[in-house]
A and B are shown apart, each in its own frame.
Chain A
Amino acid sequence: MAQMTMIQAITDAMRTELKNDENVLVFGEDVGQNGGVFRATDGLQEEFGEERVFDTPLAESGISGLAIGLGLTGFRPVMEIQFFGFVFETMDGVAGQMARMRYRSGGHYHSPITVRSPFGGGVKTPELHADNLEGLMAQAPGLKVVIPSTPYDAKGLLLASIRDNDPVIFLEHMKLYRSFREEVPEEEYTIEIGKADIKREGKDLTIVTYGAMVHTSLKAAEELAEEGIEAEVIDLRTVSPLDMDTVVESVKKTNRAIVVQEAQKQAGVGASVVADINDNAILHLEAPVLRVTAPDTVYPFAAAEDVWLPDHTDVVERAKTVINF
């Protein structure tokens, strides 16, 4: 087994599937010779040629239209949106077109497309580069939205996404790209889309989270443990569809929950988790389910990011509020 960063695991997944299936095509802005602005596609054009891994003109709507058309002719497109704030340029392509292809055609056509994109805060990017738009995506019926938090998960989930016959939005948190390494098998494996993972077991409180906030929550759980509070940390891994079975089972055990997301409070995924806990486990709760989120502003300018983003002390504080309710 090799030690890999998340970005290496992502490249490895694409390499694996480019080898496995000649219909897999990787394309987007600067993904060819340049290997992507984060180097996620580094070396792939050299290895698989310009027919399989190629640059597009600079136009996001064109890129997703291209993906839809290639999907119709038997290819499995893996398209990159260079930074996820640029998805606004192709909301029709993503939410209006590929998400609805199967439905509009009564199941006759589908969109076996993976939309890869870096997102997420804490790396001081310019405006519209870091935005957490997963809530927007999760609100579009027909899309699956996957957000890995570790190199191991990233490889398995990306392979599953590329092999899925429906469109998957695969969001890669920029801060996690190179923040740590872990053991990642060199052979292929998949992780089921729509299955959450318990990243830490506990009996006193359930912390439901995803993306970079998994690590923030794990750090908070360690602090809480020092005070005798055992928090269970659930990494959703997929924010649409939500694996509420895993969450509800945990809440039935711990009787308390908080939801932690990097996105603004109004941005959806956390609210949906709270509503579903209410639907399925309200009589098991000893306290209201609270949220740790960013405030409802536009994503902040770089100099304000550190304060704007939730951190582990916010999680600890909110967890204690629930414990002491």
Chain B
Amino acid sequence: MFQILNEEGEIVNKDALPDLSDEELQELMRRMVYTRIWDQRAISLNRQGRLGFYAPVAGQEASMLGSQFALEKEDWILPGYRDVPQIVWHGLPLYQAFLYSRGHFHGGQFPEEVNALMPQIIIGAQIVQTAGVALGLKRKGKDSVAITYTGDGGASQGDFYEGMNFAGAYSAPAIFVVQNNQFAISVPVEEQSAAKTIAQKAVAAGINGVQVDGMDVLAVYAATKEARENAVNGDGPTLLETMCYRYGPHTMAGDDPTRYRTSDLDDEWEKKDPLVRFRKYLESKDLWSEEKENEVVDQAKDDIKAAIKKTDDTPKQKVSDLIEIMFEKLPVNLQQQLEEYREKESK
């Protein structure tokens, strides 16, 4: 398993240390702290009924943000349902992520400059689509990549293999990230496959496979950066398995992890926490302090408050709006139904 920072925040793989400036290192930390706060707030807002569908991310910050940080703005992200932080840090306004969560269609109307898809609900569908986006980028002569995310459960889907195989066959610039957070809802990874690692599944598709410490933000960053370089240089796609853990439930829709996880296991993984170890590393370089951390926490809380306000202020969604966006040009049947709903909504 590829690692750069150990649990004590010490460099254990000096040769692999990525070339990041002090500001970039601080930015990585800032994003992880911010996302942890956002996750806590989102869970609380969900419990108050002020957000809709939400899949907690705490424990996966290094995996999510380290990999996104290695991308260029033009790169495409095809996220799974949990991978909202990556698309927000790629440019999706936070209030739109909240609208998506509430089931409002403006949450999917991404700004023009944000090359990303809406979070995918069908496990694995994003993986075959990534092969297509990556081939499209290659055929258009772009120096950019398509990256996609799924969990360890997603690695059992047929689409996981089809997507890797297609991208491999076309040498398309794709990066497949499997965030092995140890459970597919309740089923542990050991029960999902007899394969020793998920990374080794790359062998069947003839592409590179790397297992990374997903709680080590520097390792995830470095591995993704290298995968990106290989992809744009025509050396084919990479499968990254990031070993991580989700501290919370699968989603906020009734999952209770105490039914299938022991607190010992939670404690064991919390010792590997990505924020703790990176904080220690940055503090040893005098790049982080309690004061800096508090600033980020306050900023995150303020931003979330403002985003929720903007979410609340967004005009209510109408069925007639939804009828209008079904097709580029409305067919006759929908034209009639549009009139019916406009009338109903005018009452």
Give Cα A108–Cα B107 distance, bound, in whole angstroms: 11
Interchain CB contact under 8 A, B132 and A66: yes
Q: Residues of A contacting B127 with CB < 8 Å?
A: 65
Residue of B nearest to A68 (CB): B129
Q: Residues of B contacting A97 with CB < 8 Å?
A: 122, 125, 129
Q: Residues of B contacting A108 with CB < 8 Å?
A: 108-110
Interchain CB contact under 8 A, A62 and B166: yes
Interchain CB contact under 8 A, B332 and A245: yes
Interchain CB contact under 8 A, B166 and A105: no
Q: Residues of B contacting A110 with CB < 8 Å?
A: 328
Chain A interfacial residues counted at CB < 8 A? 44
Q: Residues of B contacting A185 with CB < 8 Å?
A: none
Quick one: CB contact mask for A54-78 with B, threshold 8 Å, 1 for yes? 0011010110111111111111000
Residue of A nearest to B146 (CB): A69
Interchain CB contact under 8 A, B129 and A166: no
Give the contact-size bracket for chain B: 35 or more
Q: A62-B163, A107-B109, A142-B326 are in contact. Are A69 and B118 (CB under 8 A)?
A: no
Give Cα A74–Cα B332 distance, bound, in whole angstroms: 28
Residue of B nearest to A238 (CB): B331
Interchain CB contact under 8 A, A61 and B137: no
Interchain CB contact under 8 A, A57 and B166: yes
Interchain CB contact under 8 A, A62 and B136: no
Q: Residues of B contacting A102 with CB < 8 Å?
A: 325-328
Residue of A nearest to B78 (CB): A69
Interchain CB contact under 8 A, B331 and A73: no
Most A CB contacts (10 A, CB to CB) among B129, B325, B332 go to: B129
Q: Residues of A contacting B137 with CB < 8 Å?
A: 73
Any chain A CB within 8 A of the CB of B169?
yes
Q: Residues of A contacting B109 with CB < 8 Å?
A: 105-108
A66, A92, A103, A142: the one contacting B166 at CB < 8 Å is A66
Residue of A nearest to B330 (CB): A241
Interchain CB contact under 8 A, A74 and B140: yes
Q: Residues of B contacting A295 with CB < 8 Å?
A: none
Interchain CB contact under 8 A, A104 and B136: no
Any chain B CB within 8 A of the CB of A242?
yes
**Could you list 12 A-B pairs, sorted by A, with CB under 8 Å?**
A59-B162, A65-B129, A65-B130, A68-B128, A74-B140, A93-B125, A102-B327, A104-B108, A107-B325, A108-B110, A142-B326, A142-B327
Besides A59-B165, A70-B135, A244-B332, 17 other CB < 8 A contacts?
A: A57-B162, A61-B128, A64-B128, A68-B128, A68-B132, A69-B130, A69-B135, A71-B132, A72-B129, A72-B132, A96-B122, A102-B326, A102-B328, A103-B326, A105-B108, A242-B333, A243-B332
